[in-house]
């Protein structure tokens, strides 16, 4: 039976591993189900549906309507407006990253000191849900929320998402037995992508296809009005309502090893002191900190790639709602495979080697995607030709980008799973909550850097493709640091 111990060096409440069962056990599955409740918001709103709509139909349309680009040809004006929309979304992500970095660092250590996770998670998910529902009023022009108000709502949701990630990830070590944790981590990502896929299918058949093809219904269901962009705005309420309903199994069955009655103020204060002390004694946890540095760098690239990628393809390749939604369904379905693949790759190669394979693959796939334009692929070597007479994805460039999207989904999802497993290998067992807090911060403390690079390179060059290519540097640098990390099996490090 695991017993609580007091770490004499740091004074923090710690415990040995308390997880039982496998990925399909009650606590393991409920931990994974959390991502089925929460992750669709990120996939639909932050990546595929709402962010491209915000960049193109709110920010870009405002710029075109302002008259600032009247001296340009229509094509050039739309290109400049698209680049500015992409830069605005990158700026939004950058601002949210600043706030999370300044406010989130001490949560994980507070959890090690007995602070319960579930109350904070409930508050965060409730706020994210309210933001999602509020996005229904994000309408272009004066009739809806202002651009600044929409940006503020998205920033609030992003920061809450980061907080919930700190709390949820810190519960992973106790969700199942040690050898099952990679499978639990991968299952969560698979469930999150799977649920997002179902939502995308519903949006396509209920709203997008009736608008574009009058099929399978002569008009969109529930009175959705495309003239008011309701087919995009509805994604927010769908995710918000789903999150409120789907969080229940997690709160009923997930294991929260926090202590009832723990003072949040005291736990956070002592946690802050512990984090500062741990950072000052980084030499005692050299491998864990090297991994956190590597993760900080490559997570910036991953965040930028996922959050700006759909905006890029929407503006650069001219994909509309149907194409983007089908692409999102396609990528999310492959993301399910990526979650399972990540757990399998961890067990076959170990998390460090799995991460090396995943990051290297992502860099290659990134440049494959950037080689695709409306006219050609592979940087002009393969012209875009009509492959078949279809209303969507009829050109070779479209099909090549679909392949790129599937590969990115597989390796990006696997990378997230392998990163969580890697931390269990390098962090001291009695400090895993603190290090999972630092792990989440490592994904947020400089998360503004990738969007900043995209923003600056896009504005400097006036070219979206050059802007997106800047993030490859972050993957190369993160991989270089990762190669220096030595990892031990979790059972050995727990001693």
Percent of the chain past pLDDT 90, that is, above it, reads 22
What pLDDT, in 10s, does the model give residues 6-39? 332 333 444 455 767 777 888 899 999 999 999 9
The answer, yes or no, to whether residue 260 has pLDDT greater than 90, is: no
> Can you give the pLDDT at residue 7?
34
Looking at per-residue pLDDT, the higher value among 482 and 329 belongs to: 482
Please, are residues 339 and 487 in contact by the beta-carbon 8 Å criterion? no
> Can you give the pLDDT at residue 491?
46
CA distance 208 to 221: 10
Poorest-pLDDT segment among 72-81, 118-127, 225-234: 72-81
For range 319-331, the mean pLDDT: 79
The answer, yes or no, to whether residue 280 has pLDDT greater than 80, is: no
Percent of the chain past pLDDT 70, that is, above it, reads 88
> Can you give the pLDDT at residue 436?
67
Half-sphere exposure of 95 (CA within 13 A, CB side): 14
What pLDDT, in 10s, does the model give residues 144-200? 898 889 999 999 998 899 889 888 888 887 888 877 887 888 889 889 988 988 998
> Can you give the pLDDT at residue 1?
29
Q: What is the 3-state secondary structure (H, E, C) of 386-423?
A: ECCCCCCCCEHHHHHHHHHHHHHHHHHHHHHHHHHHHH
- Asked if the bond preceding 437 is cis, omega within 30° of 0, the reply is no
The answer, yes or no, to whether residue 102 has pLDDT greater than 90, is: no
Q: Which two tokens stand for residue 341?
A: 């693949």
The alpha carbon torsion through 238, 241, 242, 246 (nearest 10 deg) reads 180
Write the DSSP assignment of 159-223 as a string of letters. HHHHHHHHHHHHTGGGTS-GGGHHHHHHHHHHHHHHHHHHHHHHHIIIIIHHHHH--SSSS-GGG
For range 248-267, the mean pLDDT: 84
CA distance 171 to 215: 45
What pLDDT, in 10s, does the model give residues 436-493? 667 766 665 555 677 677 778 877 877 777 777 888 888 999 999 999 998 765 444 4
> Can you give the pLDDT at residue 283?
67
| Nearest Cα residue to 18 out of 10, 28, 8, 9 | 28
Please, which pLDDT band fits residue 98 given cuts at 50, 70 and 90? confident
> Can you give the pLDDT at residue 454?
76
For range 367-389, the mean pLDDT: 84
Please, are residues 282 and 289 in contact by the beta-carbon 8 Å criterion? yes
The answer, yes or no, to whether residue 251 has pLDDT greater than 60, is: yes
> How does strand 13-15 pair with strand 4-6?
antiparallel
Query: Considering the entire predicted model, what is its pTM?
Result: 0.75
> Can you give the pLDDT at residue 440?
63
For range 95-108, the mean pLDDT: 74
> Can you give the pLDDT at residue 336?
82
> Can you give the pLDDT at residue 479?
93
Q: Which two tokens stand for residue 27?
A: 């606590």
Please, are residues 451 and 301 in contact by the beta-carbon 8 Å criterion? no
Residues sharing a CB contact under 8 Å with residue 461, sequence separation 6 or more, in sequence order: 467
Looking at per-residue pLDDT, the higher value among 290 and 278 belongs to: 290
């Amino acid at each position: 039976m695991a017993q609580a111990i007091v770490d004499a060096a740091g004074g923090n409440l710690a415990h040995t591993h308390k997880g039982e069962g496998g990925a399909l056990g009650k606590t393991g599955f409920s931990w994974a189900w959390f991502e089925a409740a929460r992750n669709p918001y990120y996939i639909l709103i932050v990546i595929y549906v709402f962010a491209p709509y915000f960049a193109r139909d709110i920010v870009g349309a405002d710029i075109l309507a302002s008259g600032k680009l009247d001296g340009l040809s229509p094509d050039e004006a739309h290109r400049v407006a698209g680049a500015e929309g992409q830069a605005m979304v990158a700026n939004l992500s950058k601002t949210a990253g600043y706030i999370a970095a300044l406010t989130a660092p001490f949560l994980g250590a507070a959890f090690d000191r007995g602070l319960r996770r579930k109350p904070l998670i409930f508050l965060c998910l409730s706020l994210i849900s309210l933001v999602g529902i509020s996005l229904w009023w994000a309408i272009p022009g004066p009739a809806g929320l202002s651009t600044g108000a929409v940006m503020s709502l998205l920033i609030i949701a992003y920061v809450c998402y980061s907080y919930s990630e700190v709390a949820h990830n810190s519960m992973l070590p106790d969700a199942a037995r040690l050898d099952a944790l990679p499978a639990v981590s991968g299952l969560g990502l698979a469930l999150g992508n799977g649920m997002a896929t179902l939502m995308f299918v519903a949006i396509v058949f209920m709203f997008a296809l009736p608008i574009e093809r009058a099929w399978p219904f002569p008009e969109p269901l529930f009175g959705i009005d495309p003239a008011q962009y309701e087919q995009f705005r509805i994604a927010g309420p769908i995710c918000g309502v789903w999150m409120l309903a789907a969080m229940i199994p997690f709160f009923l069955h997930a294991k929260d090893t926090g202590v009832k009655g723990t003072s949040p103020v005291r736990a956070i204060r002592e946690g802050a002191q512990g984090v500062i002390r741990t950072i000052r004694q980084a030499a005692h946890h050299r491998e864990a900190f090297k991994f956190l540095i590597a993760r900080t760098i490559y997570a910036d690239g991953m965040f930028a790639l996922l959050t700006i990628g759909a905006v890029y393809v929407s503006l650069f390749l001219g994909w509309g709602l149907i194409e983007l939604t089908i692409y999102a369904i396609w990528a999310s379905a492959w993301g399910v495979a990526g979650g399972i693949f990540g757990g399998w790759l961890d067990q076959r190669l170990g998390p460090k080697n799995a991460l090396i394979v995943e990051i290297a693959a992502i860099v290659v796939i990134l440049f494959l995607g950037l080689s695709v334009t409306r006219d050609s692929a592979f940087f002009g070597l393969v012209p875009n030709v009509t492959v078949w007479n279809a209303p969507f994805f009829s050109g070779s460039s479209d099909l090549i980008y679909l392949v790129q999207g599937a590969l990115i989904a597989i390796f990006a999802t696997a990378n997230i799973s392998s990163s969580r497993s890697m931390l269990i290998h390098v962090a001291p067992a009695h400090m895993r909550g603190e290090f999972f807090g630092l792990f989440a911060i490592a994904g947020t403390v400089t998360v503004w850097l990738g969007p900043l690079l995209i923003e600056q390179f896009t504005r400097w060059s006036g070219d979206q493709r050059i802007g997106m290519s800047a993030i490859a540097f972050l993957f190369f640098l993160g991989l270089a640091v990762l190669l220096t990390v030595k990892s031990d099996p979790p059972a050995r490090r727990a001693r």
